[in-house]
Chain A
Amino acid sequence: MALQSLDIKARSATTTQSPAARKTTEVAKLIDISKCIGCKACQAACMEWNDLRDDIGHNVGVYDNPHDLSDQSWTVMRFSEVEVEQGRLEWLIRKDGCMHCADPGCLKACPSPGAIVQYSNGIVDFHEENCIGCGYCITGCPFNIPRISKKDHKAYKCTLCSDRVGVGLEPACVKTCPTGAIVFGSKADMIHHAEGRITDLKERGYSNAALYDPKGVGGTHVMYVLQHGDKPELYANLPKDPGISPLVGLWKGVTKPLMNLGLGLAVFAGFFHYVTAGPKEVEEEEKTD
């Protein structure tokens, strides 16, 4: 919901500048996977703050519960059991949800003006009152995040608690995390904080520990500290080098204005042909009518 209507950096399906008089600090949420114990307190806090209740699902033999993101579950802990080194089992638990991309594919793909906005603080927010339920955002997102409600056919996802952040609070998941695995602040501070964590992890034998802030989407406003930074796929298929699909780029890039131009030119060509070459009339026709 629009609490920050003057802080808009980008707005879906809008070709003019959005109100951008105010410039706010770029924020970020940092999720340190090495500190996460998988307690799902953040999931509960998300439901609580946003007043969401998913349907009771079925146990399919994994710890992920609910099994997937939905219009009611904006964040889900994804549990991966991996053996990075022979004989050394690791349980990697990744808090999945919207990454709040600096270059959001969802926003680029959306055809409805103002259904998706990006605030100057970096949060990407869906304004469901403008959503038409076309699902284009799904094709645009490199992280498989937006979900269309089966009830109202609107798209939903994590808001990074834009309503809390707008009044100076941290997101609900951050507030509740008992181990301090989720922290929130300015993006610069979070990168700095991550560097400390990565040095620490490297000292403890995780030589590939790294920050996940993928450049392919211009960086994200939800970042991870990964113990195995060289293999993000280990973490429930976190993409190594995410980017907006070239097909979506083709579909939403320069092609469309050019296609509009083509249609306009065709109509003009017809009109000018008529006023120059003139209609094709059959001479004898007059006497037949």
Chain B
Amino acid sequence: MPIGSTPPKYRVRIDNDRCMLCEQCIENCPYGTFRKEGNKILVNSRACTGCHRCIAMCPRDAIDLEEKPVDYRSHPIWTREAREAIYNQARTGKIILAGMGNILEVPPIFDRLLLDACQVTNPSIDPLREPMELRTYIGKKPSKVEVATKPNGDIELLTHLAPNLKCETPIMIGHMSYGAISLNAQLSLARGAAAQGTFMGTGEGGLHKHLYPYQDHMIVQVASGRFGVDIDYLERGAAIEIKIGQGAKPGIGGHLPGEKVDESVSGTRMIPVSSDAISPAPHHDIYSIEDLAQLVRGLKEATEWKKPVFVKIAAVHNVAAIASGIARSSADAVVIDGFRGGTGAAPRVFRDHVGIPIEAAVAAVDEKLRHHGVRNEVSVIASGGIRDSADVTKTIALGADAVYIGTAALISLGCRVCGSCYRGLCPWGIATQRPDLVARLDPDIMWENVSNLINGWTLEIAELMGAAGINSIESLRGNRDRLRAYMLDENLMEVLDVKTVGAGA
């Protein structure tokens, strides 16, 4: 039954006094928002996704964009989103898929945590003058080391050390697969990560041969679909990550629609062109924690125990106990993806309502692992909605070793978080495989944006640490004393193990 259309999401206006009719906007918009008629640019606002490509390219600042130009009658419960979802499902009767991360209007816990600084009684450290240790080793650490003195007086290490990843910064780039994003986007991220001495994930899409030069900085993923996974792939990676779950859609599988599987994506994933790539919800060889240990060891055995193996899970209610099981499965790192994690596409109801925030998850996992005496057995990597160096610093103070960034890295490539990745027409050349759009993103230039971003954050973390009188990331890790809670309730403060603002040392 036709309800008519819902109000437009955006209104685009051209200031004809400013416009010079260069037609850049027409060329740049893959959605067909603009056209020229006579001496005027005309606009179809309904085609707009709010990606800002036209605004970035207009030489005259002649384009105005307004979001939600038409108001609904306001109502605190029946929000615009609630109403529009109902119109959509009344029309289609289907599950609503949505892009990017969680849009629930609850404040991030990060914003309710404040960092510390030195005054008078303990001097701060100037990172310009003093060495700051941000290097982070990801992997198992021995609980003790045994050494022997050789006859010539040299000291020899007797303890066998498990392989670790050496990251020059606690910031890594998370898994975004080829297929979900373009090869040029992956190349930019990989080169940027390599330049900063850190690592990035391949996602579940195999490893394209153009990325081989950066393979020492890539973490290859093994997900439930096992796409692109063979022994060659496993051996190329610096580390291997088993993906159990993802913060944007805990508990469900993934699905790359056949339209996105072109010749090149097909070759990398090792599936036929145009076939759907379905990743089942569980790994069908993992139905228990013992089975997980079996896969961890299987991967290590296949690569002769030379690679650290990570296990990534979504932050769910019982995350601490699960992480503790993972810690005892021979895994070298547990990755926890919080409920604000981004994605190309997830059912809206999962994206917004399933899982828990990364802040609480990291604190709970760190506490549990320490309680069981296995914190050194495993590194903790946190991800899901990390927006800046303050979030990174707070995450580490809550107990993580390092973070994965995803959306932030894409934003450094121009992404405007428009949430239309699923259309496959990303005007920034990121979430698309259309050759003309992909060509807009030149990896030889854009890698520097990625590198700059990581560099800038790393400098800021060093400053924050210095101000707090800390000169090594090791002393920040799990150091809740450097955090204070601002307007958080007592229960949450207990989970985070953080005191309130105003409480002394």
Determine if chain A interacts with chain B: no
